[in-house]
Amino acid sequence: MHIASSLLAILLASIGCVSSANGASQYAPKQPPLTTPWTDEVGTNPWPEYPRPQLQRSEWKNLNGIWRYENATSLQSVQQPPFGKHLSQEVLVPSCLESALSGIQGQYMLNSWFSTSFTVPKSWEKQRVLLNFGAVDYEATVFINGRKAGFHRGGYFHFTVDGTSHVSFDRENELLVFVHDPTDNGDSVIPIGKQTLHPSHIFYTPCSGIWQSVWVESAPANHITQLDIDANMHGEVSATVHSSQKSGTPVEVAVHERNSGEVVAYHQARSPHLYNVTVRMGADHVRSYTGFRSISKGMVDGVVRPLVNGEFQFLFGPLDQGYWPDGLYTAPNREAMVYDLKVLKKLGFNMVRKHVKIEPALFYQACDEMGFLVIQDMPALRQKAPNAKQQAEFSRQLELMVKQLKNYPSIMTWVIYNEGWGQLIDGYPEFGLTKHVKEIDPTRLVDSTSGWYDHGAGDFSDNHHYANPQCGTPFYSLDSSPYDPSRIGFQGEFGGLGSNVSINHLWNVQEAIDTIDQTYEIDESLAAWNYRSHILLGELEDQIRRFACSGGVWTQTTDVEGEVNGLLTYDRRLLRVDEMQWRADIMKLYDAGAARSHTYMPAF
């Protein structure tokens, strides 16, 4: 048996050699444990869209596509970059190295080299050449033409490397990226969300490498690096334009109607009405957009409520994790990513809780355009107490998240901790972190601790309970805290009803299948699943009518690996819900909220 399998390995290796005469393996996606309807559409030019809709420049080149890849032996490898070397394998960018779509589908991708080459048009010669990365998990060291050009730490954040002094305008430029991603290896305690090197039930396969778009663009020496636009319900727009150089260059900001292009000075609109924005600063000219929206909290009939444009509307959203069986963190394409949102919209959800992951900019743009509100979680540390240095890095990355996303009108609330993961209990750091988040972004609410260890910080009294809700109720289970009437009563998670439909819709990995029995509740048929969801949504409605429940999060949008409790299966091929029944049940939640919001006092 043993001999036979090694013979087979040798045979396969020699077939591999024949098919690539030049000794380099060619890119082909691997077989994922489960496909989606978009797996075969990915091709070799993924994510062609301009990746940064809130700071768009016209002169750009997409660098997504087939790059070269090689495993590096250690973190020290970064000291010996393989300049000019043909790395041994091909890889799809963007992708997670652990995903089938990457063409690698590896494990323990702790240290990696990526390389590609690119040209820059002669016409950019007098400009800065900016190399942009949507996100690289976890650390990236960037080399251009044999010289180090930049470094970035943090797996969920965009960053820009100014390549001007490194690039040539008349030949191919070599781009080499060293990626280090420990995930939860050894003593590493870093923001990882649900990623783990040892997947089991609610923790999943990790994502390493360049998992969002890479592009190069030209901009003048003094260019806009960030736009912070705040447009409120009174029609007031305030814009902060960050520039690459200190200068007194005047800035022009214009807000336009999306369709007619007419410049609007004042407009009071209910969401989801968006406006195009153009900004000129000297020679730099960028396009963006905004929406007029104010988020606050206030007393409505004696209950503290979240307010959107001054009004209480019940918030109902799914726990939305953004995992894909073929691409893991990287959706196969934009259409797939938006498909999830379309399903939610059709069922009547008005919010999504983006769970311990940060998505590409195009996701938030889609939320803005479709009129969703977003409750955004900080990607959690593993379930282990961080030391002082790790805590400081968590806090730094929390700040990066708020700065990166606060410009999207859809964002309404920041979540700092989920169910105590990586939450230090000594000294209650969530109070300091909440204060810090509110300083960076005073226009949103903060849910400091979603579930479990609540010491009174932030705007929410957030209960997690499966399967039935305990939302702003005078009863609670002992693993959560009692409802605190000085804050917003909220059900940060409930539902989680499982249904093991068939092997055709399962992530076909035995270790994952073996954890299905850890599901809170299994319903034996879709009829039973819909019956149970109707009961649970009815309980939530009752709690809105009787108690102080302002919003709820249903677990979850899709199945993920060994979890079978999605509205959709992991492959997005089966929608478990009885659409008529769910739409009606969700409408009743909003009606129950409306019945509690006849009068209100201004926000405090």
Contact residues for ligand NAG (CB under 6 A)? 71-74, 106, 108, 110-111, 256, 258, 261, 276, 287, 500, 503, 506, 513, 516-517
Of residues 201 and 287, the one with the C-beta less far from ligand NAG? 287
Output the residue with the shortest Cβ distance to ligand NAG: 261
Q: Which amino acid is at 379?
A: P
Report in angstroms how near the CB of residue 356 gets to ligand NAG at its nearest. Answer: 25
Of residues 72 and 149, the one with the C-beta less far from ligand NAG? 72
| C-alpha 141 chain-centroid distance | 22
| Token digits of residue 20 | 């690539």
Report in angstroms how near the CB of residue 73 gets to ligand NAG at its nearest. Answer: 5
Asked whether the CA dihedral 180, 430, 329, 148 is positive or negative, the reply is: negative
Report in angstroms how near the CB of residue 364 gets to ligand NAG at its nearest. Answer: 14
Report in angstroms how near the CB of residue 75 gets to ligand NAG at its nearest. Answer: 8
Beta bridge partners of 575: 568
Q: What DSSP designation does 25 have?
A: P
Cα–Cα distance measured from residue 105 to residue 560, given in angstroms and rounded to the nearest whole number: 17
Cβ proximity of 349 and 586 under 8 Å: yes
Of residues 10 and 503, the one with the C-beta less far from ligand NAG? 503
Report in angstroms how near the CB of residue 257 gets to ligand NAG at its nearest. Answer: 7
Q: Mutual orientation of helices 429-440 and 388-405 as an angle, nearest 10°?
A: 30
Of residues 115 and 470, the one with the C-beta less far from ligand NAG? 115
- Reduced DSSP (H G I as helix, E B as strand, rest coil) percent helix, strand, coil of the chain, to 5: 20, 30, 50
Cα–Cα distance measured from residue 363 to residue 370, given in angstroms and rounded to the nearest whole number: 11
Report in angstroms how near the CB of residue 113 gets to ligand NAG at its nearest. Answer: 11
Report in angstroms how near the CB of residue 562 gets to ligand NAG at its nearest. Answer: 10
Report in angstroms how near the CB of residue 522 gets to ligand NAG at its nearest. Answer: 6
Cα–Cα distance measured from residue 49 to residue 331, given in angstroms and rounded to the nearest whole number: 13
| Token digits of residue 565 | 């409790």
CA-based angle 434:440:444, to the nearest 5? Answer: 70
Of residues 221 and 513, the one with the C-beta less far from ligand NAG? 513
Give, rounded to a whole angstrom, the gap between the first and last alpha carbons of the chain: 73
Of residues 87 and 401, the one with the C-beta less far from ligand NAG? 87
Cα–Cα distance measured from residue 448 to residue 522, given in angstroms and rounded to the nearest whole number: 31
Of residues 114 and 460, the one with the C-beta less far from ligand NAG? 114
Of residues 239 and 513, the one with the C-beta less far from ligand NAG? 513
Cβ proximity of 174 and 144 under 8 Å: yes
Report in angstroms how near the CB of residue 208 gets to ligand NAG at its nearest. Answer: 11
| Phi, psi (degrees; rounded to nearest 5) at 384 | -155, 145
Report in angstroms how near the CB of residue 545 gets to ligand NAG at its nearest. Answer: 36
Of residues 69 and 143, the one with the C-beta less far from ligand NAG? 69
Cα–Cα distance measured from residue 495 to residue 499, given in angstroms and rounded to the nearest whole number: 12
Contacts of 49 (CB under 8 A, 6+ apart): 334, 362
Of residues 96 and 506, the one with the C-beta less far from ligand NAG? 506
Query: CA distances (Å), 90 to each of 70, 140, 297, in order?
Result: 8, 19, 51
Cβ proximity of 413 and 446 under 8 Å: yes
List strand residue ranges (DSSP E) for 405-459, in order.
411-418, 445-450
| Token digits of residue 555 | 């677990």
Report in angstroms how near the CB of residue 252 gets to ligand NAG at its nearest. Answer: 16
| Phi, psi (degrees; rounded to nearest 5) at 590 | -65, -40
Of residues 67 and 452, the one with the C-beta less far from ligand NAG? 67
